[in-house]
C-alpha cells in the first residue's frame, strides 16, 4: 500500500507539473477521441480487434472519473490518471516479484525505485499513451509465471494464461514477445516431456477459449469479429509503412533501448542521436554491464529450475520483442517498455548478490542512483513542460489568422499540432473523400499529412505517392480552400528525408519533396511564436 500511495502521489504531482497530456507520443490523443464515442454512446460504438478491451474498459473508467469530478468530459487528460494508477499497481507487482526471487525487502524497494525512474516507464505513467494498463497486466502475468511455473498446476497455468490473454486483448501486439517466453518457460518446467507438452497445450487452449468467450459475450457489438482467428491475428501495422526491416532501424533500435533507461526521447530521426550521443553511450554502458553481470549470476545458478524459468520469461520476451521491434517501430516507447522489463530484474539480481557483503552502502547507492536517474529523466521533460497551455494558445492564434472552415492544412504528420488539432477540432481521418466546397465547418479538422502516403501505402512507388499528394492539394484548391502548410514547407530535402526515415526510403522522400516544390509556390502567412511559420500554397 505504501508503494501504491507514494508512487501515485509522485505521478499525479508530475502530471500537474508537466501539463502535457500527450508528452513524447501522440497515440493517446487519437485513442481519447474514440473513447469519447464509447462514453457517449457505448451501444453503438465499435470494437477494435487490436485494442479489443481497451476502449470499453477505458470508457468505463472515464465515466467513473466523470462522477468523481476528475477532468470531467475530457478523456485526453483522464487517461493520464488511469495510466498513473496502472503504473502504481505495476510497481507493487515489481516489489512482490523481486522480494520473492531475492528474499530481501531492501532489494525489492531498490528495484521499485529503479523501475519508477526509468525514462519510458516514467513518461508513459504520466501521459495519455495507451500502453500502461496493458503493460501492467502483461507484467503481472510474467511475474506470476516466473513464480508459479516452477511448480505448475493446471489451475496456475490456466490463471496465468487468462491474465496474459486479458493483457493482449487490451493491446494485441503484446502477445508476441511474451507468448514465446511463456511457452519456453513451460517447456523447461518440471515433469516428463508429455506433462510439459500438456501444459503448453493447456496454456494455448485457455488463451483461445477465453478469446472466443469474449467474442461471444460482445455479441452483435459493432466491429466484433466473427471467427476468433480474427482476434488472435489482427495484422495491426503489418501492411503499413512502419513494417519491414531496414538498416536505419538498427540505429533506431539502439535509440529505443537506451532511451528506455535515460532520456526518454521518441527518436524517429537518426539525426537526432548525435546531439544526445553522450547520454546514449552512458545508457548503453550501464545496460551492457547489467546484462553481463545478470547473465553471469543466472549462469552460475543455471541448475536451479526457478532461475531457468525466470530467464525464459524475461529473456525470451526481450529477444523476441526486439526482433519484432526491428520489424516495426524500434524507437517507440510503447514498443520498448514491455521487452525491456528484464533490466529491473537484472539490476535486482546484481543487488541481491552485492548486498550480502555491504548491505547499507549497496542499498544506499542503489537508491541514490535511482534518485539521480529520476531527477535526470524529469529534467529531460522540462523543454516540453506546459505544452497543453501552450498549444491552446497556438490554436487560438491560428484561428485568428486563418478560417478553419476555408482551410486545409498541410503538415508533416508527426508534429504535436496534428494531435492537438485532431482532439480540439473533432478529427476524422476519413474526411477527404467526402469533402465538399468551401466553406465547411464539419469537419473543422481538415489536414493533409506527408507521412500518410508512405505509412498507409507502403508498396506504392514514390512517383505515385507524389502524384497522390499533388492531386490532393489541387483538389482542395479547386474546392475553394486555402492550403496552409506549417514549417515543413521550408525544410530542405535532406531534412525531409531523415524525418521520414522510419516509414519511407530516400527515393520516396525525394518524390514527395518534388511534388511540393515543383508544383506549388508559397508565401508566408504568419509566424506563430511557438509553432513557427505558416505558408499559403498556390499553384506554380
* Among the ranges given (22-26, 259-263, 327-331), the one the predictor scored with the smallest mean pLDDT: 22-26
Average pLDDT, the chain: 93
427 vs 66 pLDDT, higher one: 66
Residue 539: strand, helix, or coil = strand
- What proportion of the chain, given as a percentage, has pLDDT over 90? 79
Give the Cα separation of 466 and 469 in Å (integer).
5
Model confidence at 296: pLDDT above 80:
yes
Is the pLDDT at 158 greater than 70, yes or no? yes
Q: What are the pLDDT digits (tens) for 487-534?
A: 999 999 999 988 888 788 889 999 999 999 999 999 999 999 989 999
**88 or 445, greater pLDDT:** 88
Q: What is the mean pLDDT of residues 143-147?
A: 98
Q: What pLDDT is stored for residue 491 in this prediction?
A: 94
Q: Is the distance from CB of 538 to CB of 523 less than 8 angstroms? A: yes
pLDDT band at residue 247 using 50, 70 and 90 as cut-offs: confident
Sorting pLDDT into bands at 50, 70 and 90, what band is 249? confident
Q: Using one digit for the tens of pLDDT, what is the confidence trace for 432-475?
A: 989 999 999 888 989 999 989 888 888 889 999 999 999 999 99
Residue with cell string 521533460: 381
- Statement: residue 242 has pLDDT above 70: no
Q: Give dist(CA 540, CA 521) in Å, integer.
A: 5
Rounded distance, CA 329 to CA 262, Å? 19
The pLDDT tens digits for 29-47 are: 889 989 999 999 999 999 9
pLDDT for 295 equals: 97
Segments making up each domain of the chain, as ranges: 2-383, 387-539
Give yes or no for a contact between 50 and 234, defined as CB atoms under 8 angstroms apart: yes
pTM of the model: 0.90
Picking from 173-187, 231-245, 312-326, 368-382, which range would have the lowest pLDDT averaged per residue? 231-245
For Cα atoms 250, 256, 257, give the angle at the middle one, nearest 5 degrees.
95
Categorize the per-residue pLDDT at 234 as very low, low, confident or very high, splitting at 50, 70 and 90.
confident
Q: Is the pLDDT of residue 241 over 70?
A: no
Contacts 24+ apart (CB under 8 A), 295-298: 297/349, 297/350, 297/353, 298/349
Which of helix, strand or coil describes residue 23?
Answer: coil
Average pLDDT over residues 99-108: 96
pLDDT tens column, 258-268: 999 999 998 88
Q: In this model, does residue 91 exceed pLDDT 70? A: yes
Predicted local distance difference test score (pLDDT) of residue 503: 81
Predicted local distance difference test score (pLDDT) of residue 236: 79
pLDDT surpasses 70 at 239: no
Amino acid at each position: 500500500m505504501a508503494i501504491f500511495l507514494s508512487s501515485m502521489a509522485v505521478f499525479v504531482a508530475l502530471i500537474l507539473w508537466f501539463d502535457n497530456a500527450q508528452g513524447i507520443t501522440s497515440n493517446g490523443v487519437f485513442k481519447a477521441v474514440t473513447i469519447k464515442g464509447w462514453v457517449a454512446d457505448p451501444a453503438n460504438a465499435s470494437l477494435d480487434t487490436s485494442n479489443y478491451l481497451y476502449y470499453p474498459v477505458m470508457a468505463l473508467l472515464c465515466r467513473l472519473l466523470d462522477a468523481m469530478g476528475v477532468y470531467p468530459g475530457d478523456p485526453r487528460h483522464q487517461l493520464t490518471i488511469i495510466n498513473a494508477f496502472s503504473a502504481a499497481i505495476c510497481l507493487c507487482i515489481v516489489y512482490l516479484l523481486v522480494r520473492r526471487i531475492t528474499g530481501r525487502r531492501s532489494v525489492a524497494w531498490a528495484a521499485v525505485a529503479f523501475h519508477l525512474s526509468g525514462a519510458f516507464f516514467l513518461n508513459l505513467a504520466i501521459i495519455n499513451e495507451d500502453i500502461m494498463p496493458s503493460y501492467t497486466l502483461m507484467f503481472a502475468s510474467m511475474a506470476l509465471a516466473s513464480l508459479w511455473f516452477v511448480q505448475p498446476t493446471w489451475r496456475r497455468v490456466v490463471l496465468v494464461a487468462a491474465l496474459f490473454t486479458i493483457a493482449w486483448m487490451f493491446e494485441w501486439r503484446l502477445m508476441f514477445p511474451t507468448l514465446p517466453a511463456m511457452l519456453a518457460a513451460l517447456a523447461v518446467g518440471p515433469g516428463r516431456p508429455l506433462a510439459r507438452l500438456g501444459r503448453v497445450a493447456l496454456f494455448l487452449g485457455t488463451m483461445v477459449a477465453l478469446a472466443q468467450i469474449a467474442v461471444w459475450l460482445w455479441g452483435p457489438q459493432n466491429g466484433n469479429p466473427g471467427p476468433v482467428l480474427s482476434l488472435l491475428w489482427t495484422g495491426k501495422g503489418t501492411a503499413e509503412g512502419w513494417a519491414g526491416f531496414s538498416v536505419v532501424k538498427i540505429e533506431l533500435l539502439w535509440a529505443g533501448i537506451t532511451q528506455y533507461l535515460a532520456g526518454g526521447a521518441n527518436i524517429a530521426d537518426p539525426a537526432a542521436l548525435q546531439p544526445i550521443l553522450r547520454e546514449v553511450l552512458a545508457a548503453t554502458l550501464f545496460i551492457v554491464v547489467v546484462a553481463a553481470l545478470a547473465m553471469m549470476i543466472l549462469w552460475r545458478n543455471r541448475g536451479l529450475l526457478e532461475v531457468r524459468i525466470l530467464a525464459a520469461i524475461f529473456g525470451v520476451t526481450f529477444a523476441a520483442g526486439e526482433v519484432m521491434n526491428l520489424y516495426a517501430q524500434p524507437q517507440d516507447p510503447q514498443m520498448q517498455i514491455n521487452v525491456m522489463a528484464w533490466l529491473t530484474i537484472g539490476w535486482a539480481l546484481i543487488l541481491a548478490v552485492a548486498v550480502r557483503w555491504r548491505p547499507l552502502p549497496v542499498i544506499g547507492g542503489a537508491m541514490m542512483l535511482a534518485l539521480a536517474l529520476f531527477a535526470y529523466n524529469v529534467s529531460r521533460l522540462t523543454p516540453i513542460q506546459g505544452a497543453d497551455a501552450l498549444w491552446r494558445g497556438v490554436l487560438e492564434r491560428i484561428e485568428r489568422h486563418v478560417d478553419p472552415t476555408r482551410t486545409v492544412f498541410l503538415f508533416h504528420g508527426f508534429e504535436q499540432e496534428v494531435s492537438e488539432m485532431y482532439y480540439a477540432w473533432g478529427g476524422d481521418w476519413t474526411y477527404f473523400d467526402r469533402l465538399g466546397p468551401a466553406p465547411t465547418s464539419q469537419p473543422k479538422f481538415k489536414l493533409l499529412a506527408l507521412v500518410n502516403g508512405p505509412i498507409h501505402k507502403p508498396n506504392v512507388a514514390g512517383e505515385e505517392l507524389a502524384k497522390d499528394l499533388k492531386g490532393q492539394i489541387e483538389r482542395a484548391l479547386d474546392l475553394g480552400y486555402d492550403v496552409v502548410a506549417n514549417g515543413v514547407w521550408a525544410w530542405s530535402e535532406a531534412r525531409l528525408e531523415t524525418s521520414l526515415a522510419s516509414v519511407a526510403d530516400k527515393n520516396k522522400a525525394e518524390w514527395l519533396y518534388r511534388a511540393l516544390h515543383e508544383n506549388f509556390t508559397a508565401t508566408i502567412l504568419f509566424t506563430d511564436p511557438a509553432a513557427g511559420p505558416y505558408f499559403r500554397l498556390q499553384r506554380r
